[in-house]
Amino acid sequence: MSFALGLTGSIGMGKSTTAKMFADEGCALWDADDAVHRLYSPGGTAVQSISEIYPEAVIDGSVNRIVLKQIISKEPSALKVIESIVHPLVSKDRATFRASETADIIVFDIPLLFETGGDADMDAVACVSISPEEQKRRVMTRGTMTEAQFDQIRSKQMPNEEKCRRSDFVIVTDTLDHARAQVQDIVRQIRVGMRNA
């Protein structure tokens, strides 16, 4: 029986980098964003449903995320409609992965873990964290969004303090070495706990 560890954290906190560190320690990794990409790709299970409601969002057999964003910005209620299609499909993808995976620890990289209630399916949750100043600096350095877009994304996410409070483990991502040491410690704790169970 595998141990399910939810990995979450707000934008710019270092979650993707930390997820790779868990993989380096022999954990299996399921990524929610990758699952959405699969669902939106040609032949993906979300394509047909979205094309029925927003046909303009499906181009060359796949869901175009840029067009989806434009639809949501014009019609805010569209987000709920899209989520009602995508969230159950993502949950199914996650369950299929969990059932087929044999690694002792499976890490589920889910940005909106608490917001979607996904934490209820986990044996434990780890949250990546950094100061708000460093978070903003990292996101702005990427050059992929404006300050207003960043503030909008952050306003939709549960506050970092609340995520940390609700998590079993908090990983401070101030340096790569520090983050890696914390990941190794968490993996060790989980494996010791599994042996002693």
Cα(129)–Cα(102) distance, rounded to whole angstroms? 29
- Mean pLDDT on 91-98: 93
- pLDDT at residue 197 above 90? no
- pLDDT at residue 76 above 90? no
Position 157 scores a pLDDT of: 85
- Mean pLDDT on 65-88: 91
- Which domains does the chain carry? 1-27+104-197 (3.40.50.300), 35-102 (no CATH)
Position 116 scores a pLDDT of: 86
Position 149 scores a pLDDT of: 86
Mode of pairing for the β-strands spanning 28-31 and 105-109: parallel
Cα separations in angstroms, 6 against 30, 50, 86, 185: 10, 28, 19, 16
Instruction: Report pLDDT digits (tens) over 120-143.
Output: 999 999 999 999 999 999 999 998
- Mean pLDDT on 35-50: 95
